[in-house]
Amino acid sequence: MSWQAYVESRLLGRTQTSVATDAGVSQGTISRWKSGQQNADAQQAIAFAKATGDAPLRALVAAGILEEEDLEYRPVDPSLNELTDRELADAIYARLQKLRGEEGDGDGDAAPTTAGPLSPVPGPYDEDLDRLEDEREERPPYAGGVTLPSAARKNKE
């Protein structure tokens, strides 16, 4: 889609003046875009997209600043915000195993178990969690129901 066609499709019955005000450009600029006499720069394309309620990346493609292929780019390592809790926990566990020298399947990462969110399939760290919970249950309660760590209990006895 050309920038001209994009601008025409995004005006959606609004006046050029109101969109220009929201985008921080002149009405004449909107008119030149709509007639195909002028193209937007990156800052203008982003402002226009925001003013018309569209994704700035679409505007950048329409303005010829980005290519469609650029929109499909994903970094090799996903952002922490994109990981599910399970994926994040598996990644932390794999890193801890690697630091302890427990390489798993030999590729440098412990093979995490992922079967989707809230899966009943046990993860690689479940044994450690179970062991910690068992230790906590075995400790005798201290004054007021507070439990002492095992080292503190031994010193107290």
Exposure class string for 49-76: b at 16+ Cβ within 10 A, else e:
bebbebeebbbbbbbebbeeeeeeeeee
Tell me how far apart the alpha carbons of residues 155 and 88 are, in angstroms, rounded to a whole number.
Answer: 37
Q: How far is CA 39 from CA 45, 62, 65, 149, in A?
A: 9, 10, 10, 69
* Residue 143 DSSP code: G
The pTM is what? Answer: 0.47
Amino acid at 97: Q
Tell me how far apart the alpha carbons of residues 32 and 137 are, in angstroms, rounded to a whole number.
Answer: 74
The pLDDT, as a whole number, for residue 113 is: 46
Give residue for tokens 């990462």: 109
The answer to whether 22 touches 54, Cβ cutoff 8 Å, is no
pLDDT tens for the chain, 157 residues long, are 899 999 999 998 899 999 999 999 999 999 999 999 999 999 999 999 999 999 899 999 999 998 888 777 655 555 666 778 888 888 888 888 888 776 554 444 444 444 444 444 455 566 666 666 666 666 655 545 555 555 544 555 5
The ranges of the chain annotated as CATH 1.10.260.40 are 3-71
Fold assignment, 3-71: 434 Repressor (Amino-terminal Domain) (1.10.260)
* Residue 141 DSSP code: B
